[in-house]
Amino acid sequence: MTALGDELATLVTESSDPRYSKIDTLPVADLAAIMNDADATVPGAVRKALPQLVPAIEGVADRMARGGRLLYVGAGTPGRLGVVDASECPPTFNTDPDQVTGIIAGGPAAILNAVEGAEDDESAGVSAMDEAGVGMLDSVVGIASSGRTPFVVAAIARARELGALTVGLSCNTDTRLSAAAEHAIEVPLGPEIVSGSTRLKAGTAQKLVLNMISTITMIRLGKTYGSLMVDVRATNEKLRERAIRIVKLITDADREQALGTLEQVSFDVKLASVMIARGVGEQGARALLDGANGRLRQALEAEK
C-alpha cells in the first residue's frame, strides 16, 4: 500500500460500517430510515465540538468587528459549502460581497464541476491566500472532511504565516489541518452510509458549523435585533414584505407607516425603525445609529 493509502486507511471518514454492507439490497423505505438515523447523529457530534467552536467564533467576531474579513477555503464538497455560506451573507446581513468569501480549489469552475487534481495542489493553496491579500485582521476557515487535503492545509498554514486567525474544520481527529490551524474544530462522525462519501454526514456537520460561524458572528456584530434580520437587503418583493413586517414588529407601527418610512430610506430597516420609534427624521436616525456603531438596540435605547 502507498503512503497515501496507509494514511487514508486510518481515517474514519474512509472506513466502512458492516451495518451498511447490504444497503444495495434494501427497499427505499428502509434506506430512507437508515439515512435518517445516521443524519440524526450529526447535531450531537457538533454539540460535542462546541468547546472548540466557541473560541473560534469569538476570534472571528473580534477581528471582523475591527474591519477584518471571513474567508472559507475548501476543495470539492467542503469548498462548495463554504461558497454557499459566504454567498448567503450579503442578502441576509447586508455584508459587502468581499467581507465573507469562499475560496474553492480549482477556482469558480470547481463549484459546478470537479477539477481534477486541484485539491492536491499545495502551491495553489498558498497562492490563493496571497492573491486574496490575507492579513492580520482576517479569519480563514479551512474545511476538509479528511483533515488532510493538501490545498486546504497549505492555505491555512500560509494564512497563519500572514497573521490571520486560522480555523481548521474536519471530521477526523488529530489531523494535519488541526495541527496547521490556530483553532481546530473536529467533528468525528464515523463511517458514511456510502463509504467515503463525505457529502453525507460530514457535509451536514460542516454546514451546521459554518451556519454557526457566520450567523453568530453577524449577531455579535449587531446584524440582528433579537431574532429579527434588521440588515436584510430588500432586493425582491418577498424581502420587502419581510422588511415591512420587521419594522412593524419593532415599532408597533401599522403597515402604511412602516411602508412609507421604508420607502423614504430605500428600505433600510434600521433607519426606518429608529425614525418611527424615536420620532426623528432620517438625519437624526443616522446620528443615533452612528453613535451606536450601527447596533439597532443601542440606538433605540440611547438617551435623547
> pLDDT of 48-97, one tens digit each?
999 999 999 999 999 999 999 999 999 999 999 999 999 999 999 999 99
Mean pLDDT of the 189-216 span: 93
Q: Is 237 one of the annotated active-site residues of the chain?
A: no
Given the residues 7, 58, 88, 282, select the one marked as catalytic: 88
Q: Which H/E stretch holds residue 254?
A: none
Q: Is 303 one of the annotated active-site residues of the chain?
A: no
Each domain of the chain, given as residue ranges in start order, spans 8-220, 237-301
Q: What's the pLDDT at 5? A: 53
pLDDT band at 302 (very low <50, low <70, confident <90, very high): confident
Distance of CA 118 to the CA centre of its chain: 22
pTM of the shown model: 0.91
pLDDT band at 16 (very low <50, low <70, confident <90, very high): confident
Q: What's the pLDDT at 145? A: 94
The amino acid sitting at 14 is E
> pLDDT of 104-135, one tens digit each?
999 998 888 878 789 999 999 999 999 999 99
Q: What's the pLDDT at 2? A: 61
- Cβ pair 196, 212 in contact under 8 A: no
Instruction: List 167's β-bridge partners, or say none.
Output: 141, 183
Q: Does domain 8-220 have CATH number 3.40.190.10?
A: no
How far is 151 from 125, CA to CA, in rounded Å?
Answer: 5
CATH of domain 237-301: 1.10.8.1080
For the chain, where are the alpha helices, taking DSSP H only? 3-9, 28-39, 42-48, 50-65, 76-93, 122-131, 150-161, 176-180, 201-220, 237-251, 255-264, 269-278, 282-291, 296-301
Given the residues 7, 58, 116, 119, select the one marked as catalytic: 119
Task: Report the SS3 class of residue 168.
Answer: strand
Q: Percentage of the chain surpassing pLDDT 90?
A: 83
pLDDT band at 1 (very low <50, low <70, confident <90, very high): low
| Residue 86 grid cell | 459566504
In terms of phi and psi (left: phi > 0; alpha: psi -120 to 50; beta: otherwise), the region of 180 is alpha
Question: What's 152's DSSP letter?
Answer: H
